Amino acid sequence: MKKLVRSNLAIKLVSLILTFAIIQLLIYFDIINDYLQATLATICINIILAVSLNLITGFTGQFSLGHAGFMSIGAYACALITLRIPTIPGFILGVFAGAVAAALIGGLVGLPTLRLRGDYLAIATLGMSEIIRIVFLNLDNITNGAAGLQDIPQFANWKWLFIYTAGTVLIISNYIRSSHGRACISIREDEIAAEAMGINSTKYKVIAFTIGAFFAGIAGALYATTFNFIDPKIFGFSKSIDVLVIVVLGGLGSISGSIIAAVLLGVVTTYLQSFANIQMILYSVLLIIIMIFRPQGLMGSKEVSLSIFSKLGNSFKSKKGRV
Amino acid sequence: MSILSVNKLTKSFGGLMAVSNVSMEINKGELVGLIGPNGAGKTTVFNLLTGIYEPSSGTITLDPNGVNRDIQGLKPHTICKIGLARTFQNIRLFKDLSVIDNVRIAMHKNVKYGLVSSFFHLPSYSKEEALLTKKSIELLKILKLDHKKDELAKNLPYGEQRHLEIARALATNPTLLLLDEPAAGMNPAETSQLTELIGWIRKEFDLTILLIEHDMSLVMKICERIYVLDYGMVIAEGTPEEIKNNKRVIEAYLGEDMNNAGD
């Protein structure tokens, strides 16, 4: 058992390092040029957003349309801090403060709204994220209102983005495979049965919401320090929908699905830019086609299992053993 | 010593009195049946006891270990932690989860490692998860489900889904177990197996059991005492023999005797 856990960890580490090394090489040989690096950053931020929303919507079963709101809290908190402390520690502090601020608001908003179910919750979270946007729009002397914050120091390079993305994916997938994570999933499966089995459903919904908001805050902070500029328009309703599209496309309840969908949509959007006129039409058609043929999402609720590699490894070993 | 005492429990939905003035006493170690015609309010009583509904009036006192606690109006998860577990008439398993996960979720209230440990899979996580898995497999062995532990709950045949419901309820480590029509949809052979199983887990886990059942052969065979419910009211209480010969019970089930009605 222990051996299995260790080898799983080793496989995870190896695949992480491999992913990093391959992309690092592509950047080094300029195959991923400056333009594509912006796509890469968008993909990383979208992965963080989608995986964290998947915890709320896919695993805990709470339909939320407010992810852009939490993202904007992280973005503004981090931008305001790094504008005053433009150093690496300031950047790290900014990301952390953004995440904590988003998590606090998430928990606070979650306590009353998570008593609602289904579409009522969706409307409440949508309203919440609009309120946050309007507040940022009107706090002129702090957020510079509609003009937005400019010249935010650019700290979040590819390496930072990779660290934060990998960290998010690891922490959330670890959480899902713990007893607390299973408590969240049981609420999605059958809330009445979960309560009858001793699961405090309100508590675990709020926990999932708070964790989701925390990582959305990180994504917002990384957005601000990658693209140097934020204004309230960026974090509107359509941003929440964009994230939801990635989650549904990848499969509700599949972390690897969210990652695959974020990468796929990132790449597709970049290449569709050469057909500027019909870009949105092609994008929509692609989504419709995928939803017709895979209504449960690309991955359903399954994960890309790393055990494929360990199986390959085992068969290799056993062959070796026979010789 | 009574482990559960229900006093003048009433629940109305609008103008409909689903349960009215029900009083019950269940002693430690007893196996009590709750019967009655369709729509008599049996499942509503269960939903009131487990906190899914809040009673309109009346009290429910649970005394699992010498400490009286009024549980009316508490949330279901709190009532479960005090020591009351149940199964559902219309099976409510976590369908898309594996058999073992269904049981592990019911054991969650005993898990001590915190959120941080679950984020980083610290040593306390591995230690407790291993223990949890071991306990779950032991429980599944008792209900002969251990060979199917990795299958999805929805893929089990009907009878085994009923068994898994019982396993999941036992996993919460209850002192009082409520079984809501455990034999529904089973054939006579399966029912007699279930009868044995209920008797056995009662001894093995030192349980007090209250069960709703329509299958009279099962009720009469294993219940020590029976409450009969009709139109939300208790119309009779007694041993199976007494209930069999009770005039009001026969009337409730079969309708009034035509000869007597003519008098």
pLDDT at B215 over 60: yes
Of B75, B92, B132, the CB nearest to A179: B132
Question: What are the tens digits of pLDDT across the range B135-185?
Answer: 999 999 999 999 999 999 999 999 999 999 999 999 999 999 999 999 988
Question: How is residue B231 written in tokens?
Answer: 């139109």
With CA atoms as reference, report the closest residue to A177 among B212, B129, B10, B50: B129
Q: What is the per-residue pLDDT for A273? A: 84
- Confirm whether B76 is domain-assigned: yes
B51 within domain boundaries? yes
Q: Specify whether the backbone of A45 is left (phi greater than 0), alpha (psi in -120 to 50) or beta.
A: alpha
For residue B263, pLDDT over 50 is answered with: no
pLDDT for B232: 93
Nearest chain A alpha carbon to B132 = A179
Query: B247, exposed or middle or buried, with CB in 10 Å at 0-12, 13-18, 19+?
Result: exposed
| Alpha helices (H) in A139-236, listed in sequence order | 140-143, 158-176, 179-189, 191-196, 201-227
Confirm whether A5 is domain-assigned: no
Q: Rounded to an integer, what distance in angstroms lies between the CA atom of residue A164 and that of residue A219?
A: 9
Q: pLDDT band at A310, cuts 50/70/90?
A: low
Mean pLDDT value of segment A138-149: 92
- Residue A295, domain member (yes or no): no
Position A275 scores a pLDDT of 83
| Alpha helices by DSSP H, chain A | 2-28, 34-53, 67-84, 88-113, 118-138, 140-143, 158-176, 179-189, 191-196, 201-227, 237-250, 255-272, 279-293, 307-322
Separation CA B177–CA B174 (nearest Å) = 6
Q: Does A141 touch chain B (CB under 8 A)?
A: no
Q: Angle, to 10 degrees, between the axis of helix A279-293 and the axis of helix A255-272?
A: 150
Rounded distance between C-alpha atoms, residue A121 and residue A125, angstroms: 6
CATH number assigned to the domain comprising residue B71:
3.40.50.300
Greater confidence (A261 vs A277) lies with A261
Residues in chain A: 323
- Asked whether the beta carbons of A255 and A173 are under 8 A apart, the reply is yes
Number of domains in chain A: 1
**Amino acid identity for residue A138 in this structure:** N
Q: What's the pLDDT score for residue A302?
A: 84
pLDDT of residue A9: 75
Amino acid at B126: S
Q: Is B146:B137 a contact under the CB 8 Å cutoff?
A: yes
Residue reference for tokens 């992309």: A23
Q: Which residues lie below 8 Å from residue A308, measured CB to CB, with a gap of 6+?
A: none
Lay out the sheet containing B208-212: strands in order across. B84-86, B176-180, B208-212, B31-35, B225-230, B233-238
Looking at beta carbons, which residues of chain A come within 8 Å of B108? Answer: 179-180, 182-183, 197-199
What is the complex's ipTM, to 2 decimals? 0.91
Answer whether residue A227 is part of any domain.
Answer: yes
Phi, psi of A116 (to 5 degrees): -80, 160
User: How many other CB atoms are there within 10 angstroms of residue B86's CB atom?
Assistant: 28
Distances, alpha carbon B215 to alpha carbons A84, B35, B169, B188, in Å:
75, 9, 21, 10
**How does pLDDT run across A266-290, given as a tens digit for each residue?**
999 888 888 878 878 888 888 899 8
- Does position A15 have pLDDT exceeding 90, yes or no? no
Nearest to A189 among B85, B94, B128 (CB): B94
Is A174's Cβ below 8 Å from some Cβ in B? yes
DSSP labels for B72-120?
Answer: TT--HHHHHHHTEEE--SS----TTSBHHHHHHHHTGGG----HHHHHH
Burial, B150: exposed, middle or buried (Cβ in 10 Å; 0-12, 13-18, 19+)?
A: exposed
Tell me if residue B12 falls in helix, strand or coil: strand
- Mean residue pLDDT of chain A comes to 90
The first and second tokens of residue A268, run together, are 């597709």
DSSP-based three-state secondary structure for B34: strand
Which residue(s) pair with B208 in the sheet? B176
Does A314 score more than 90 pLDDT? no
> Nearest-CA neighbor of B41 among B14, B63, B72, B9?
B9
Find the domain containing A214 and state its range: 36-236
How many contacts, defined by CB atoms under 8 Å, are there between A and B? 104
Q: Which of B119, B133, B150 to mutate to test binding with chain A, by most A CBs within 10 Å of its CB?
A: B119
| Within a domain: B121 | no
pLDDT of residue B262: 43
**b/e map B116-130, b = 16+ CB within 10 Å:** ebbbebeeebeebbe
- Pick A175's closest partner by Cβ from B80, B97, B118: B118
Residue A49 lies in a domain: yes
pLDDT at residue A282 in the model: 83
Q: Which of A135-149, A265-279, A285-299 has the highest mean pLDDT?
A: A135-149
| Mean per-residue pLDDT of chain B | 92
Q: Of A249, A243, A244, which Cα lies nearest the Cα of A297?
A: A249
Question: In this predicted structure, which of A149-158, B37-46, B61-70, B166-175 has the lowest mean pLDDT?
Answer: B61-70
CB contact under 8 A, A185 and B97: yes
CA distances from B68 to B32, B60, B65 (A): 20, 10, 8
Q: Are strands B57-62 and B2-13 parallel, antiparallel or unpaired?
A: antiparallel
Q: Residue A32 — very low, low, confident or very high, per pLDDT cuts 50/70/90?
A: confident
* C-alpha radius of gyration, chain A, whole number: 20
Question: A276 to each of A32, A269, A282, how far by Cα in Å?
Answer: 21, 10, 10
pLDDT in tens, A191-246: 999 999 999 999 999 999 999 999 999 999 999 999 999 999 999 999 999 999 99
Q: Taking CA A120 as the corner, what is the angle to CA A119 and CA A125, rounded to the nearest 5 degrees?
A: 95
Task: Give yes or no for A5 touching B (CB within 8 A).
Answer: yes
- For residue A271, being part of any structural domain is answered with no
Residues of A within 8 A of B80 (CB-CB) are 195-198
pLDDT at residue A1 greater than cutoff 60: no
Q: Please list every residue in chain B whose beta carbon sits closer than 8 Å to the beta carbon of residue A186.
A: 94, 97, 105
pLDDT at residue A306, rounded to an integer: 56
pLDDT of residue B256: 66
- Cβ within 8 Å of residue A281, ≥6 positions away: none
CA–CA separation, B145 vs B136, rounded Å? 10
Q: Cα–Cα distance between A72 and B235 in angstroms, integer? A: 63
Domain that holds residue B209: 2-83+174-262
pLDDT at A323: 40
Q: Is B257 a domain residue?
A: yes
Helix axes A67-84, A34-53, angle to 10 degrees: 130
E strand residue ranges, B143-186 = 176-180
pLDDT at B1: 74
Given a contact cutoff of 8 angstroms between Cβ atoms, the answer to whether A68 and A246 are in contact is: no
Q: Which residues pair with B5 in a beta bridge?
A: B25, B61
Count of structural domains within chain B: 1
Cα(A27)–Cα(A37) distance, integer angstroms: 8
For residue A251, the one-letter residue type is G
Judging contacts by C-beta atoms under 8 Å, the chain B residues touching residue A185 are: 94, 97, 105
Residue B115 has pLDDT above 70, yes or no: yes
